[in-house]
Structure formats: C-alpha cells, structure tokens
C-alpha cells in the first residue's frame, strides 16, 4: 500500500497534470489605454485558471482593420462602443457577447511636475511647443482630445502644435520622452493604485467630450474557445473591477 505522504504527493501531481491538460489559451486584442491593467488582469486570470493569455496592444481602429482581414483574435477589448458594435453587425463578433467593461477618463498630462495646472489653463496660454494626441481616426482617446479642443474653441489656435501618435501608447511615449511637453492620454496610463504615478495632470471634465465607454466582444475566432469565454466572465467579477478601479476606470 502506498504511504499516505507519498499518496498526497502523487494526488497533487495528478491534479497538476490534469490542470495542464485542460488549460487553454486565448488571444486578446486590447486597446492601448487598457494595457497596464490588462497585464495585471491576465496574470490573475492565468493564476486562477491555468489558461494562458496572449496579448496584443494597439489602437482600436487598427485592430478593427486587422480583424476584418482575418487576424485570429478571440476577444477585442476596445476603447469605444462603436467598433465592437460594427464587428457584431458584420458577423465578425458573436451576438449577445458585447458589454461595457469600463469607462475611461481623458487627462491632459505632462511628465514635468507642476507644468499642467489643475484647470487646464495652460491650453489657453499655449506656452508650449508640442501638444501630443492619439490619431483621432484610429484611437477613441484621440477623438476625445479633438472633441475637447473643439469644445474649448482651441483647434485653430493649437493646430500647428499638434503631434499625433498612432495610438494612446505612442502618444504617452512622446510626452514621457519630452518630445512633447504635454498631451492628452488616458488616466490609466499615469495613475495606479489610486494615485498619480508621475508628472502633472488636468482631469478633463466629462462635459467636454463624449463618454469613453469601452466595450468587449467575443470574436468569431473565439466562439468555441472556453478560455476566451472564461476570461470575459472573469472581466465582470468584483476582483477584476477592483483592478480596473485602481487604474482610474469607472463603471
């Protein structure tokens, strides 16, 4: 008869083997603004389920084009609601799987302390050389930035100072490396664990731009992927929402 101690070790070994056999993998396209919390969420999900998460980060508009051309993503975590809706209408997204996972916040940010004032008056003064925004044709946060400038009647005044990143991640890099003194980014890029991580910000009032409701959708390639459907369920849990809230997202 096997000794009890050895039996326990053997049983744990069998559980481990069983978990690895049944573990799956999901490929997720995630909007660049959500990259930091997504890294944390993916680790937590992997630890809990054994399923692996393969992430690609970029602009929502570019992902839309890639998915149309057959990119094998299982899930899209967009920076807007319109793109997942279009994918559902085009039968590239699975009907009744779309939901809003978070609502983002636009901020004007500089890597320099005390450079951006708390009311955004620096925009009126225009005492800078470069203002970075994400491409408004591809990135919802870039569109929100242009809506803000339009509402403030500042587009003509500032258009020669604008520099565009392909997505909000590249826009952040322009500012972080001082290629632009300031720019519009997502709060989640400069905020973690309930506090500003560096520099100075103006939290743009919601009245100046259309709300940044961000939708997730299961894509055609992930229809029969249990790891993908499990991740979407995980995204709705209080544990996941706590992580997102720590990065400044609302619900």
Per-residue pLDDT tens digits for 189-201 = 999 988 999 999 9
Same domain, 204 and 222: no
Same domain, 10 and 89: yes
More confidently predicted of 32 and 4: 32
- Would you state the pLDDT for residue 242? 96
Domain assignment present for 30: yes
What three-state secondary structure class fits 240?
A: helix
What three-state secondary structure class fits 248?
A: coil
Domain assignment present for 160: yes
Residue 148 has pLDDT above 80, yes or no: yes
Domain assignment present for 13: yes
User: How does pLDDT run across 61-75, given as a tens digit for each residue?
Assistant: 999 999 999 999 999
How many domains does the chain fold into?
2
**Could you tell me if 106 and 212 are in contact, meaning their C-beta atoms sit under 8 angstroms apart?**
yes
Same domain, 116 and 88: no
| Dihedral angle computed from the Cα positions of residues 93, 95, 100 and 105, in that order, rounded to the nearest 10 degrees | 30
Same domain, 149 and 203: yes
For the CA atoms of the chain, what is the radius of gyration?
21
What distance in Å separates the CA atoms of residue 111 and residue 99, rounded to the nearest whole number? 34
Quote the percentage of the chain above a pLDDT of 70. Answer: 91
Instruction: Return the ∠ at Cα 75 (arms to 173 and 86), rounded to 5°.
Output: 90
- Would you state the pLDDT for residue 71? 98
Q: Which domain holds residue 191?
A: 104-208
- 13: pLDDT confidence band, cut at 50, 70 and 90? very low
Residue 143 has pLDDT above 50, yes or no: yes
Same domain, 133 and 162: yes
Same domain, 71 and 192: no
Domain assignment present for 99: yes
Q: Is 11 exposed, middle or buried (0-12, 13-18, 19+ CB in 10 A)?
A: exposed
Same domain, 89 and 112: no
Domain assignment present for 251: no
- As given in the structure block, the two tokens for residue 244 are 């997102």
CATH number of residue 149's parent domain:
3.40.190.10
Residue 218 has pLDDT above 90, yes or no: yes
Same domain, 143 and 181: yes
Cα 224 to the chain's mean position, in Å? Answer: 24
Residue 14 has pLDDT above 60, yes or no: no
Domain assignment present for 42: yes
Orientation angle between helical segments 140-151 and 168-176, nearest 10 degrees: 70
Burial 29-62 (b: 16+ CB within 10 A, else e): bbbbbbbbbbeebbebbbeebbbebeeebbbbbb
- As given in the structure block, the two tokens for residue 239 are 């544990």
- 18: pLDDT confidence band, cut at 50, 70 and 90? very low
- 28: pLDDT confidence band, cut at 50, 70 and 90? very high
């Amino acid at each position: 008869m096997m000794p009890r101690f050895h039996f326990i070790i053997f049983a744990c070994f069998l559980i481990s083997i069983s978990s690895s056999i049944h573990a799956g993998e999901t490929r997720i396209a995630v909007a660049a603004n959500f990259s930091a919390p997504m890294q944390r969420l993916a680790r937590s999900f992997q630890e809990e389920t054994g399923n692996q998460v393969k992430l690609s980060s970029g602009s929502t508009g570019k992902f839309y084009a890639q998915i149309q051309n057959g990119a094998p993503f299982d899930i899209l975590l967009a920076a807007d609601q319109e793109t997942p809706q279009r994918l559902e209408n085009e039968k590239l997204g699975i009907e009744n799987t779309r939901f809003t996972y978070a609502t983002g916040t636009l901020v004007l940010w500089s890597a320099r302390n005390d450079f951006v004032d708390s009311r955004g008056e620096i925009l009126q003064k225009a005492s800078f050389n470069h203002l970075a925004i994400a491409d408004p044709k591809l990135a919802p946060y870039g569109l929100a930035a242009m809506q803000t400038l339009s509402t403030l009647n500042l587009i003509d005044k500032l258009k020669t100072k604008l520099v565009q990143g392909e997505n909000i991640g590249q826009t952040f890099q322009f500012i972080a490396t001082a290629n632009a003194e300031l720019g519009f980014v997502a709060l989640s890029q400069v905020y973690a664990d309930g506090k500003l991580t560096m520099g100075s910000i103006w939290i743009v009032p919601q009245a100046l731009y259309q709300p940044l409701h961000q939708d997730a959708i299961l894509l055609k390639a992930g229809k029969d992927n249990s790891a993908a459907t499990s991740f979407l369920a995980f995204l709705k849990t209080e544990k996941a929402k706590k992580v997102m809230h720590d990065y400044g997202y609302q619900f």
